[in-house]
Structure 1
Amino acid sequence: MTAADRIQSPDVSVEDDELERSLRPRAFGDFVGQRAVKEQLSVAVEAAIARGEALDHVLLAGPPGLGKTSLAQIIATELDAPFVQTAGPALERKGDIAAFLTALEPGSVFFVDELHRLPRALEETFYPAMEDRQLPITVGTGAGARVVTLDLPPFTLVGATTRTGLLTTPLRDRFGLQHRLDPYDHDDLAAIVRRSAAILQVEIEHQGAEAIAARSRGTPRVANRLLRRVRDFAEVRMGGVVTREAADAALRMLEVDDEGLDRLDREILRSVCVTFAGGPVGLSTLAAAVGEEQDTIEDVYEPYLLQRGFLQRTPRGRCATARAFTHLGLPAPAPEQGTLI
């Protein structure tokens, strides 16, 4: 589990992880949203099956929680192929990659999450494997060393990344299919909440699903986790039915406001607005002020605050917008103080 996952969902438990897996769609027809990506992948999969070939390598990019892992698993299911999963940080030596690649069955889908965290020195190991299905291995040391090339079975590498810019061009260009997943709209999130409620056997009203979707930050993973917490509240205090009133009360208890901002989101905004008079403020300074890691703020919290128009990046640092002051119930300072009005 990444740091981003822990921060987004501090209440994650083993039971929650199992539930999350149970909520994953199993086929393209079950996958809600990302219509263009889903259609393009479906066509590519059908074409590969018709030709009896391995699917071209696939790169899936986008913020956490949008369904990259689910799509990788669906690809394997649709291809009726074995699914092998690892993550970039787990591959520390060339031998780690060789162990995975040489153990693949023909047609396997090899999923590497957090591909951008793969050590640069290891990327070259993937190049001949992806292009020529070959794996050069150095046998021996010193003057007696020689290179032995192993043939690999046909396979599909599916890489997932939240930061495409950190991938080197040679690695990125070796993916024949490249797709970016975008945040989900309100209707798709509401449909995901209703689907998940049906799987969890939770009675939910239309307005209850709408209330959860509105606070889900455009992310199915967040929507499903909020649903589970609202379900708990509804079972204990509201007769077990997820109504709008139950959802609103539960989310207030969880300190998730109408914009989907949680306590740390608001703390970041308040720090920029109050402590730094609206900004600009550098990322390292902001991280120190709220007691959080820089990469957590940049990768987990900031994208949504930017998307919702609460923050703006400038060459001098982060600045709060007038909307941020209004959301916090604060008077906006004059423009000359650095705030972007």
Structure 2
Amino acid sequence: MSESRGGEDLVDPTAQSEAEIAFEGALRPRSLAEFVGQRKVRGQLQLLLDAAAIQDRTPDHILLAGPPGLGKTTLAMIVAQETGRPLRMTSGPAIQHAGDLAAVLSALVPGEVLFVDEIHRMARTAEEMLYLAMEDFRIDIMVGKGAGATSIPLDLSPFTLVGATTRSGLLPNPLRDRFGFTAHLEFYETEELIEVLRRAAALLGVPIGEEALLEIASRSRGTPRIANRLLRRVRDFALVDGGGASVEAVRAALDLYDVDELGLDRLDRAVMTVLLKRFDGGPVGLNTLAVSVGEEADTIESVVEPFLVRIGLISRTPRGRVATRAGWAHFGLSRGQDALFGDDL
């Protein structure tokens, strides 16, 4: 992530400091009953875990797919908690060689839950080793090189793999097919986010009214992680200001951190500014947008664009990104109008 973004990282679900991770960890639900939202996924997971318990076996492998911040890591922890099994956590980028994966798998104890975040970013050689491990609970270790190389089979303890991905389309079909259950997590409705915030406020000891909770929820981009982070900033603002977490305090705090009424942050507005002002609404290519705002193309594509498309401010076409009527209206402009947005760029 670019360091130039400043306060707008507040609503970037991929930007986490150690303090934020600890903060979110304190708010994580410990069971499916405590988990807010994703009702269908919770019901499916509960059935899968209950069936495994009745048959006294390890649960099937689970793939959790969806945008960042919706609770994939929390659900992996809950799977381990509900089954009474230990949890081992790693990530796809940390597994760049087959030997890395072999070391992790060979150290698992019977029934352990292995959580691999961003599993689509594993090395291809490790993915191929994982096929056999998931299916037959064994791996083949190659010893030696060239014509004298020998394959030695190594039996593994039965385990449950929980994989999380924000880009399920990048997973090869052979790997995807080996998961017994795939859960697709959806963005949260405002009412669900209010429930998330109400629970978090109670745990943090923040007295806050329903109208203030609604104000935060409506600016949280349908994402619990962002909602909790905004609540934290509101708590800080109310503490310093001394006036409590009123609706006015919420609006003042979020305005201070450049989060508008739709949840747009500074980078979102910078992208929209370029699209509307410099390119008269588009179409504009992804790389051109990224260069114009001084950000990585991957950040625009994975963090900014999905949100702007989901709320209807831009659309994707074969020729590039195009501003919609709602996009023009949100900024009070019409096509061809050269108005200033401020110093966002």
Tell me the TM-score normalised to structure 1 length.
0.94
- Give 1:93 shift: 1.1
Q: Are the equivalent residues in 2 in contact too, given 1:60–1:68 (CA < 8 A)?
A: yes
Aligned to 1:249, which of 252, 255, 260? 252
1:138 alignment counterpart: 142
1:338 alignment counterpart: none
Q: Are the equivalent residues in 2 in contact too, given 1:238–1:246 (CA < 8 A)?
A: no
Task: Spell out the pairing of 1:129-168 with structure 2 (5 A cutoff).
Answer: 129-168=133-172
- Using the alignment, how far apart are the partners of 2:224 and 2:72 within structure 1? 11
Give the letter for the 1:89 counterpart. Answer: P
1:324 alignment counterpart: 327
Q: Are the equivalent residues in 1 in contact too, given 2:11–2:226 (CA < 8 A)?
A: no
Q: Are the equivalent residues in 1 in contact too, given 2:280–2:335 (CA < 8 A)?
A: no
Paired residue secondary structure (2:151): strand
- Using the alignment, how far apart are the partners of 2:151 and 2:9 within structure 1? 41
- Using the alignment, how far apart are the partners of 1:181 and 1:290 within structure 2? 30
- Using the alignment, how far apart are the partners of 1:227 and 1:7 within structure 2? 11
Instruction: Give yes or no for the alignment of 1:100 onto 2:104.
Output: yes
- Using the alignment, how far apart are the partners of 1:294 and 1:27 within structure 2? 37
Paired residue secondary structure (2:33): helix
1:337 alignment counterpart: none
Instruction: Give yes or no for the alignment of 1:307 onto 2:310.
Output: yes
CA RMSD of aligned residues (A): 1.9
- Give 1:72 shift: 0.5
Task: Spell out the pairing of 1:50-89 with structure 2 (5 A cutoff).
Answer: 50-89=54-93
Instruction: Give yes or no for the alignment of 1:262 onto 2:227.
Output: no
Q: Are the equivalent residues in 2 in contact too, given 1:81–1:109 (CA < 8 A)?
A: yes
Number of residue pairs aligned between Structure 1 and Structure 2: 333
1:221 alignment counterpart: 225
- Using the alignment, how far apart are the partners of 2:91 and 2:275 within structure 1? 35
Q: Are the equivalent residues in 2 in contact too, given 1:6–1:12 (CA < 8 A)?
A: no
Give 5+ residue unaligned stretches, structure 1.
Answer: 335-341
Q: Are the equivalent residues in 1 in contact too, given 2:13–2:69 (CA < 8 A)?
A: no
The answer to which structure, 1 or 2, has the higher relative contact order (CA under 8 A, 6+ apart) is 2
Q: Are the equivalent residues in 2 in contact too, given 1:215–1:257 (CA < 8 A)?
A: yes
- Give 1:50 shift: 1.0
Give the letter for the 1:252 counterpart. Answer: D
Give 5+ residue unaligned stretches, structure 2.
Answer: 338-345
2:120 alignment counterpart: 116
- Using the alignment, how far apart are the partners of 1:297 and 1:72 within structure 2? 28
- Deviation by residue 1:87-133 (Cα, 9 ceiling, x = unmatched): 00000111110111010011111000001111222211001100000
Paired residue secondary structure (1:30): coil
- Using the alignment, how far apart are the partners of 1:181 and 1:9 within structure 2? 15
Percent identity, aligned pairs only, is: 53
- Using the alignment, how far apart are the partners of 2:28 and 2:300 within structure 1? 27
2:342 alignment counterpart: none
- Deviation by residue 1:207-260 (Cα, 9 ceiling, x = unmatched): 111110000000000000000000000111143x32211111111111111000
- Give 1:12 shift: 4.7
Give the letter for the 2:289 counterpart. Answer: L
1:298 alignment counterpart: 301
- Give 1:201 shift: 1.1
- Using the alignment, how far apart are the partners of 1:96 and 1:9 within structure 2? 28
- Using the alignment, how far apart are the partners of 1:147 and 1:27 within structure 2? 42
- Deviation by residue 1:21-54 (Cα, 9 ceiling, x = unmatched): 1111110011000000001001100110111101
Q: Are the equivalent residues in 2 in contact too, given 1:322–1:332 (CA < 8 A)?
A: no
Paired residue secondary structure (1:178): strand
- Give 1:144 shift: 2.7
- Deviation by residue 1:57-89 (Cα, 9 ceiling, x = unmatched): 000000000000000000010000010000000
1:173 alignment counterpart: 177
Give the letter for the 1:103 counterpart. Answer: A
